[in-house]
Structure 1
Amino acid sequence: MVKNIGIDLGTANVLINVAGDGIVLNEPSVVAIDTKNNEVVAVGTEAYRMVGRTPGNIKAIRPLKDGVIADFDITEAMLTYFIEKLNLKGFLSKPNILICAPTNVTDIEQKAIIQAAEKAGGNKVYLEFEPKVAAVGAGLDIFKPQGNMVIDIGGGTSDIAVLSMGEVVTSRSLHYAGNKMDQNIVAYIKQKYNLLIGERTAETIKKEIGSAFEAEESQEIEVRGRDMIDGLPKVMTINAVEVEKVLSEGLISIIDAAKEVLEQTPPELAADIIDRGIMLTGGGALLNNLDRLLAHHLKVPVIVAENSLDAVAIGTGILLDNIAKRK
């Protein structure tokens, strides 16, 4: 029997939803390659553990950048590994796949995503826009003639869209998201404290004390890295107010993009959004007080999805069910 699987092909993580089984895989989008012979050494969680800790001949690569494929062969190898690991290919059958992309993806990038899924072992491959799938996964009924707005902040992109009757009415996609937040924290600590840290450490800082609005100075975290002056290991402390300032400029770009989307939204749908609020999904939705910051600037209620991290993967399962029922 042909299996239907949904793939959230994220810049930071890959999630796979198998029809009838739910989300069966959630692993980092990282592949470790031996540069001497170009062989894959590790994929997913095992490869992520190697980031920043590999010898010279082992390179940990993120094959997706800004929500699209940056390295086709490695993306194909990663998807093939995950599909084989889950034993999703039958002896005579290949799984049907629904896979997601940002709203600003080009035709060439769409073809690359579909081709990677086909080469990894897919039969029929469907492509959907991430904010649409995230909205469905967060529990919004986007198929009625009413306005629904979603802000999906992932690892590589932030996608903002207004949806009605199952389609995207107006949208924006920008390259400020979770990974960029981490890079900005790395750059700040390097510039202010002459301390070199890795992006994994920056991600920990963001998760532990990161805040988008009204951060508390009493929240602190110890940071370990390498002193740029003497080259020795060093420990220092930073607080949540510093991290809020680092993140503020990028978060304003998300607010500005959301304002543009609202300005382009037909009045009747805009009225629905005032009543229904904005749904916030993706890993970035978990940043402390981000919902309050957005509500403060957009003057519209903002709700964080209960399953914000898994919303896209859950949405792929629901949309695959709809496709099966239509058939």
Structure 2
Amino acid sequence: MFHFGKLAVDLGTTNTVIWKDGEVVLFEPSVVSVNTENQKVVAAGGEAKKMSGKTPNYIEVVSPLRHGAIADYGAATSMLKWFFREVMGTSWLFGPEVIVPVASGTTQVEQRAVMDAMSQAGARKVNLIDAPLAAAIGAKVSIADSFGNMVVNLGGGMVEAAIIASGGVVAVSTVREAGERINETIEEYLNKKYSLAVGRLTVEDIKIKLGSAVKLKKEEILEVGGRDLTGGLPKTINLSSEEVFEIVRPELDRVVGVIKEVLGVTPPELVADVIDRGIVLTGGMSQMRGLGTFLTRETGVAVHVALEPEFCVVKGAAMVMENMGMYQKLVR
């Protein structure tokens, strides 16, 4: 169990997850709204996301992370301060010690930005751990033995496929567009095909309700409302699951490419282990309908979705924090 003041923080492009005292205590969109006239934070998380597209000009709704890295340092710091107050209260004597998973594909500058933002938000000590290792531990994949395991973490801003063996990352491949790119592609399609402008909440709803990695046996239809780009008036269309399937397919092909790329640079003995053990998916995007089936078909390797995949990374980081003596060499 954690002692008071220790947090695992999965700072994601789409969502931020915080683990404290053996459980998830915060799971909120990585969004913050700021009053630009006085630079004060109006809201963060779900409340801020609901304000998107519905605020006066002086309220700016910001997503501080982009493609798995901090894009707006000030907004990220403000958002983290808000989240820390939510989970720690306002009367904590010392800032929390935090452990933060970072993608293996991020640069030293990007990792330093994460550490600085955490410290600026109030953390007294910041530990980093490679996200693939945290994901594997959280998914209950053994990382200590010499057998090769493959974990693919599918987040909002980054897809990372890693081969893990003997307590470390042997090979890794990253693509910096993932769930958020699917959202952008859906929005672009609606703009071009239907001259329809929609908000981010509508796009997310479309992805969740109609998104699938395989063709559905029965086509599904969703009524989508927005603003006509030609006349500016309200407009409603019927969008089909078949259309969304065609929209997301190129992005899913990129996931296949990442997996094949990392397998291509992995020692044959470890590839044989992966074929035997299969591929484990973590991250929120792994919950897309039919994704396991699609990736199994495209790679020829059995693919399994971890239990509660959206929490594997933060859970694994928390387990490292709780057992620092055992995992010290993984932390930096």
Could you tell me how far apart the structure 2 residues matched to 1:89 and 1:266 are? 51
Q: Does 1:72 align with 2:76?
A: no
Q: Does 1:266 align with 2:267?
A: yes
Q: How does 1:142-181 map to 2 (within 5 A)?
A: 142-181=143-182
Residues 89 and 102 (structure 1 numbering): CA distance in 2 closer, same or farther, change over 3 Å? farther
- How far the C-alpha of 1:97 sits from its partner, in A, is 0.8
**1:39 aligned residue:** 40
Could you tell me how far apart the structure 2 residues matched to 1:325 and 1:253 are? 36
- How far the C-alpha of 1:134 sits from its partner, in A, is 1.2
Residues 168 and 15 (structure 1 numbering): CA distance in 2 closer, same or farther, change over 3 Å? same
Q: Which moved more, 1:90-99 or 1:258-267?
A: 90-99
**1:82 aligned residue:** 83
Q: Does 1:11 align with 2:16?
A: no
Could you tell me how far apart the structure 1 residues matched to 2:214 and 2:119 are? 43
Q: Tell me which amino acid in the other structure corresponds to 2:163.
A: V
**2:257 aligned residue:** 256
Does the aligned pair in 1 maintain the 2:19–2:25 contact within 8 Å? yes
Residues 229 and 266 (structure 1 numbering): CA distance in 2 closer, same or farther, change over 3 Å? same
- How far the C-alpha of 1:34 sits from its partner, in A, is 1.0
Residues 60 and 152 (structure 1 numbering): CA distance in 2 closer, same or farther, change over 3 Å? same
Could you tell me how far apart the structure 1 residues matched to 2:112 and 2:261 are? 28
Q: Does 1:232 align with 2:233?
A: yes
**1:214 aligned residue:** 215
Residues 120 and 159 (structure 1 numbering): CA distance in 2 closer, same or farther, change over 3 Å? same
How many residue pairs match? The answer is 326
- How far the C-alpha of 1:2 sits from its partner, in A, is 5.3
* 1:309 alignment partner, SS class: helix
CA deviation string 1:52-99 (max 9, x = no partner): 211111110011111111111221111122112222687543322100
Does the aligned pair in 2 maintain the 1:216–1:240 contact within 8 Å? no
CA deviation string 1:207-259 (max 9, x = no partner): 00111112345211111111122221111111111101101111111111110
Could you tell me how far apart the structure 2 residues matched to 1:157 and 1:25 are? 21
Does the aligned pair in 2 maintain the 1:22–1:317 contact within 8 Å? no
* 1:170 alignment partner, SS class: strand
Segments of 5+ residues of structure 2 without an aligned counterpart are none
**2:103 aligned residue:** 102
Q: Which moved more, 1:175-184 or 1:115-124?
A: 115-124
- How far the C-alpha of 1:306 sits from its partner, in A, is 1.5
**1:295 aligned residue:** 296
Could you tell me how far apart the structure 2 residues matched to 1:325 and 1:290 are? 34
Calculate the TM-score normalised by the size of structure 1: 0.95
* 2:225 alignment partner, SS class: strand
Could you tell me how far apart the structure 1 residues matched to 2:198 and 2:279 are? 35
**1:136 aligned residue:** 137
Does the aligned pair in 1 maintain the 2:280–2:304 contact within 8 Å? yes
**2:198 aligned residue:** 197
Does the aligned pair in 2 maintain the 1:255–1:298 contact within 8 Å? yes
Could you tell me how far apart the structure 2 residues matched to 1:111 and 1:254 are? 27
Residues 50 and 217 (structure 1 numbering): CA distance in 2 closer, same or farther, change over 3 Å? same
Residues 160 and 202 (structure 1 numbering): CA distance in 2 closer, same or farther, change over 3 Å? same
* 2:88 alignment partner, SS class: coil
- How far the C-alpha of 1:310 sits from its partner, in A, is 1.0
Aligned sequence identity (%): 37
* 1:280 alignment partner, SS class: strand
Does the aligned pair in 2 maintain the 1:183–1:199 contact within 8 Å? no
Residues 194 and 217 (structure 1 numbering): CA distance in 2 closer, same or farther, change over 3 Å? farther
Residues 147 and 326 (structure 1 numbering): CA distance in 2 closer, same or farther, change over 3 Å? closer
Give the 4+ runs in structure 1 shifted more than 6 A.
none
Could you tell me how far apart the structure 1 residues matched to 2:302 and 2:130 are? 24
Residues 89 and 159 (structure 1 numbering): CA distance in 2 closer, same or farther, change over 3 Å? farther
Does the aligned pair in 2 maintain the 1:88–1:95 contact within 8 Å? no
Could you tell me how far apart the structure 1 residues matched to 2:302 and 2:249 are? 20
Q: Does 1:277 align with 2:278?
A: yes
Residues 37 and 144 (structure 1 numbering): CA distance in 2 closer, same or farther, change over 3 Å? same
Residues 70 and 9 (structure 1 numbering): CA distance in 2 closer, same or farther, change over 3 Å? same
- How far the C-alpha of 1:47 sits from its partner, in A, is 0.6
- How far the C-alpha of 1:111 sits from its partner, in A, is 0.9
Does the aligned pair in 1 maintain the 2:320–2:327 contact within 8 Å? no
Could you tell me how far apart the structure 1 residues matched to 2:110 and 2:167 are? 23
Residues 316 and 88 (structure 1 numbering): CA distance in 2 closer, same or farther, change over 3 Å? farther
* 2:171 alignment partner, SS class: strand
Could you tell me how far apart the structure 2 residues matched to 1:16 and 1:216 are? 38
Residues 91 and 295 (structure 1 numbering): CA distance in 2 closer, same or farther, change over 3 Å? closer
